[in-house]
Amino acid sequence: MKRVARFSPLFAALAVSFSTFGAFAADASDASTRVVDSKNVPQTIKTSDGRELKLVWNDEFDGVGAPDPEKWGYEIGYIRNNEAQYYSDRLENVFQKDGALTIRTLKEKFPIAGKPGSKGRDFAEYTSGSINTLGKAGWLYGRVEVRARLPKGKGIWPAIWMMGTNIREVGWPRCGEIDIMEYVGKEPGRVYGTIHMRRRGGENWQVVSKGKSREPGNPEGRFCVYALEWTEDKLTILVDEEVVLEFLRSEEEKKTEVWPFDKPQYLLLNTAIGGAWGGEIADDTCPTDYQIDYVRVYQ
């Protein structure tokens, strides 16, 4: 996600109760087009350039309640970009049901005094969810594929993205960042793919960023497949197999002090609201749901 400040992740252990889940059930409409039969997950896949890869990691979100703690951790608190949401690990904000993961963004008066990442505030006006695989899984090269339906409303800012597993040692943007999908509700129908890395020399937070966008057709109303194909020489971001962005090492490596995309990266799924890019929030935006049918990694 585009940034205006240093990344300062705050992670918390899973601490949720399944007993309260019934109150936060996902909308089961459109289930016939949303859910992919997890028993028929492709074990191999061909990339856009014809390479055959094997499934090495996946989550079909077939459970009920919180996402699998063996695969996912949470960000907790106010994290970055002056965004309006407080990220929580509650079932109200992050849950799986009917074969999909839902990240729900709420407008509410949520007490956060003394909680992690509260930044001295007593209440949050918005809550949402951000989960990631840091410390649990990371990958170098291959294809990362996520099937998702995006939330809508002015101010909303969902994403599918990756950062180097070495972020705690080298910081951002030295770790590199791959934004497989970003969407801002003020631009309905348009999705972005962007790469970030550190500019050569100096101590300032100068960033090389390259991004492009595409309009896949109603990504708020239907499920699209967002993918990254990553080799030693190139990163390709796609939506429904149409190329959004190609990032060639031969062209870009000379612009950065360190080429970060030869080291493993971990995956993040989140919905932000407001902030540096989300912008003004409409009164009727929330509640709004970001639904993820599956995540699959092939190498």
Question: Which residues carry out catalysis?
Answer: 177, 182
- What residue type is assigned to position 51 of the chain? R
Query: Which of 218, 216, 227 has the alpha carbon at shortest distance from 267?
Result: 227
Q: In terms of C-beta density within 10 A (0-12 exposed, 13-18 middle, 19 or more buried), how is residue 275 classed?
A: buried
Partner residues linked to 239 by β-bridges: 226, 242
Q: Taking the chain, what is the end-to-end CA distance rounded to the nearest angstrom?
A: 25
d(CA 56, CA 82): 36
CA 176 to chain centre: 15
Q: Please give the structure tokens belonging to residue 140.
A: 């170098």
d(CA 179, CA 170): 19
Spatial contact of 275 and 20, defined as CB atoms under 8 Å apart:
no
Spatial contact of 61 and 35, defined as CB atoms under 8 Å apart:
no
- How does strand 224-230 pair with strand 234-239? antiparallel
- What residue type is assigned to position 296 of the chain? R
User: What single string gives the DSSP state of each residue in 43-68?
Assistant: SEEE-TTS-EEEEEEEE---SSBSPP
Spatial contact of 85 and 155, defined as CB atoms under 8 Å apart:
no
